[in-house]
Amino acid sequence: MILGHAVEFYSVLFVMSLVLTLIYAYGWNKHYDINLTLTFVLMPVTIYGYIIMNSADTLHAALNGKKLTYIGGCYLILFIMLTVFRLCNIKVSKTVTTILLTVSTIVYLSVLTEGYLPIFYKSVSLEERGGELYLIWENAFMHSVFYVMMFSYFFASFAVIIYSYKNSNETSNKTIILLFLTEFFPLFAFIAGRAITRNLEFAPLAYILCQMLYLIIVHRIYLYDITDSGIDSIVNAHATGFMSFDLKYNYLGSDDLAKEIIPQLFEIKVDTPIDDNIEVFSRVRKWLDAFKENEENDKFYFEKDDKIYLADVNHLYSGSKKKGYQIIISDDTKNQKYIELLDTFNESLQKEVEAKTAHILKMHDNLIMSMATMIEGRDNSTGGHIKRTSDLVRILVDWIKKDDRIRLSDEFCEKLIKAAPMHDLGKIAVDDRILRKPGRYEPDEYEEMKQHAAQGARIVHEILKNTDDSYFHQIAENVAHYHHERWDGSGYPEGLTGDDIPIEARIMAIADVYDALVSKRVYKEKMSFEEANEIILDGMGTQFDIRLRSYYISARPEFEEYYRNIEE
């Protein structure tokens, strides 16, 4: 390589690069990517290396200049690549970035051995030929590594640019084209420049063109970042106040609006505990404590000067790590006044709706009870059965709720008691000759009678299919469908066993059978309480759920007292 040529050319490019860097610095925004900023800082340094190298008259001076020029190949190309990734919304982890920086640094450290060790260059010398100084070198292994690294950075950048152009909606195509040019110019200068002449390096010119392109890009880049531009717009509009504290509640700072709303913030020195100021402690400390205990407690309201403010507490992050707390304060007066007016209206409306809803529910319950009573009136043997079984269900679930072995919610118990009268609705589909027969059924008649369980489930489903209370719907349908199933699987209509039978049907079965035993029917006299009790206990584990045995035993005295009272 011939030295001493084009020093003026490099000097002009150096001045241009400095001017472009100053322009970037003047318009710099805190949200600009760090890799882009480093690119602008290192470009003048790299170009200055060409000035030193071509002005040198000793090998030592020439090598010092050349070492500066390699900053471009080792670091600038890396930072340009990372900038491409950032602007194309491709995330690069800290680990990967650290590895790439380490590789570039290792290569650059090998560059620094020029003239001392045969690592980057096997040999290097400065020779005079025909009045010209020639810098002559022979490449070593690390020089090949340098080429591999540099071209890898180029190809990775081009791959991301092509991918983003075809697939990404988050990056402007104009920006992608400009990014393509920032990669193309250095690559073209490196390959084609050396083919054109050995006396002039075109890389510095390529760097100048890249700086110009980046200035065009950064003119729009901030507007594309909706999060950052939105935050700045809110702050500049003086509509939202911010104040921050570390994890130990030490004050980190606040903006002007926060200090205007809470003037005591003027008195707190940065990095001092808020406990030192009673006025702030009494308000802010409560917010932070509540949020720390439960992050759902993140919104607090307070009044000042006839205004209502909303304080929104969030974590303060550094990267992905929680470093403290940030409180965002906004004027919520209009919203709160509107909500207050709306609440007054809603309260009045809600009372009216509740009254109408209660009336409708009462009509609905009366309709169901009327249907059950009407069906009961067709059956010569079941007078009063639906009321008695409902009362037995209520007594039994009261005992079940007294311990935790079988967990029944209050809502479930309420809906089960309400659903109990519907358990025999299916009898409406049974022919009168069967339903009103004054004696025991023949086998074929019994099979027909057994259909009332499945028919009851169908009828209940049709009655309740449009109700808003899907939970009650399911319980009522299960009670009608499965109250004749047996624990051992010998029941009907599905032959379910054990826990496959819904718990509501298992409870209903005990009440249904107990009432049938102690009540008089046209085909039998009523049994004594002792006889009925013996049959129920014998059925535990076969007909009934064995786990309900203890509850039945506890409820038995109330069962018997209930029937004594209705006989009086």
pLDDT of residue 224: 46
pLDDT of residue 193: 62
Closest CA to 265 of 347, 220, 329, 356: 329
Joined tokens for residue 21: 């860097």
> Number of helices (H) and strands (E), helices first, in the chain?
22, 7
Residue 504 or 374, more confident: 504
* Cβ contacts of 456 within 8 Å, gap of 6 or more: 422, 423, 424, 425, 426, 427, 480, 481
Give the separation between CA 518 and CA 526, rounded to whole angstroms: 5
Give the separation between CA 422 and CA 477, rounded to whole angstroms: 9
Residues paired with residue 136 on neighbouring β-strands, in sequence order? 125
Residue 567 or 170, more confident: 567
Q: Judge whether residue 530 has pLDDT over 90.
A: yes
Give the Cα-Cα-Cα angle 277, 282, 285 (nearest 5 degrees). Answer: 90
Closest CA to 243 of 324, 336, 331: 324
Element (H, E) at 253: strand 251-254
pLDDT of residue 225: 47
Give the separation between CA 513 and CA 508, rounded to whole angstroms: 9
Joined tokens for residue 502: 């819904």
Residue 536: how many other CB atoms lie within 10 Å: 21
Closest CA to 474 of 429, 418, 427: 418
Q: Judge whether residue 276 has pLDDT over 60.
A: yes
Give the separation between CA 555 and CA 562, rounded to whole angstroms: 11
Domains of the chain: 7-229 (1.20.1070), 238-331 (3.30.450.20), 359-567 (1.10.3210.10)
- Cβ–Cβ under 8 Å, residues 219 and 236: no
pLDDT of residue 230: 43
Render pLDDT for 393-416 as a digit per residue (tens, 0 to 9): 999 999 999 887 888 898 999 999
Query: How many angstroms separate the most distant Cα atoms in the chain?
Result: 137
Of the candidate ranges 91-95, 373-377, 506-510, the one whose mean pLDDT is the lowest: 373-377
Which letter does DSSP use for residue 108 in this model? Answer: H
- The letter for the amino acid at 9 is F
Closest CA to 464 of 418, 500, 497: 418
pLDDT of residue 296: 87
Give the separation between CA 140 and CA 91, rounded to whole angstroms: 35
- Cβ–Cβ under 8 Å, residues 462 and 422: no
Render pLDDT for 218-242 as a digit per residue (tens, 0 to 9): 776 654 443 444 445 444 544 578 8
For residue 137, give the 3-state DSSP assignment.
strand
Residue 224 or 472, more confident: 472
pLDDT of residue 344: 61
270, with CB counted inside 10 A (0-12, 13-18, 19+), is exposed
Give the separation between CA 73 and CA 423, rounded to whole angstroms: 85
Render pLDDT for 2-31 as a digit per residue (tens, 0 to 9): 666 678 888 999 999 999 999 888 877 666
pLDDT of residue 233: 46
Render pLDDT for 300-336 as a digit per residue (tens, 0 to 9): 888 887 788 888 899 887 656 788 898 888 887 777 7
Residue 349 or 357, more confident: 349
Q: 487 — phi, psi (to 5°)?
A: -55, -35
Residue 338 or 145, more confident: 145
Give the separation between CA 265 and CA 314, rounded to whole angstroms: 19
Which letter does DSSP use for residue 489 in this model? Answer: S
% residues pLDDT > 70 (the chain): 82
Element (H, E) at 245: strand 240-246
- The letter for the amino acid at 151 is F
**DSSP output for 391-440:** HHHHHHHHHHTTSSSS---HHHHHHHHHHGGGTTGGGGGS-HHHHT-SSP
% residues pLDDT > 90 (the chain): 24
Mean pLDDT, the chain, as a whole number? 82
For residue 129, give the 3-state DSSP assignment.
strand
Residue 354: how many other CB atoms lie within 10 Å: 10
- Cβ–Cβ under 8 Å, residues 175 and 220: yes
Q: Judge whether residue 152 has pLDDT over 70.
A: yes
Most confident of 78-87, 219-228, 423-432, 489-498: 489-498
What is the Rg, in whole angstroms, of the alpha carbon atoms belonging to the chain? 43
Element (H, E) at 543: none
pLDDT of residue 485: 94
Render pLDDT for 47-91 as a digit per residue (tens, 0 to 9): 898 888 888 888 888 888 888 888 888 898 898 899 888 888 888
Most confident of 20-29, 144-153, 198-207, 442-451: 144-153
Closest CA to 478 of 457, 509, 450, 499: 457
pLDDT of residue 226: 39
* Cβ contacts of 31 within 8 Å, gap of 6 or more: 222, 225, 228, 229, 232
Give the separation between CA 235 and CA 240, rounded to whole angstroms: 6
Which letter does DSSP use for residue 492 in this model? Answer: S
Region for 225 from its dihedrals, namely left if φ exceeds 0, alpha if ψ lies in -120 to 50, beta otherwise: beta
Give the ranges where 294-379 is alpha helix by DSSP (H).
Answer: 333-378
193, with CB counted inside 10 A (0-12, 13-18, 19+), is middle
Joined tokens for residue 222: 């901030």
Q: Judge whether residue 146 has pLDDT over 60.
A: yes
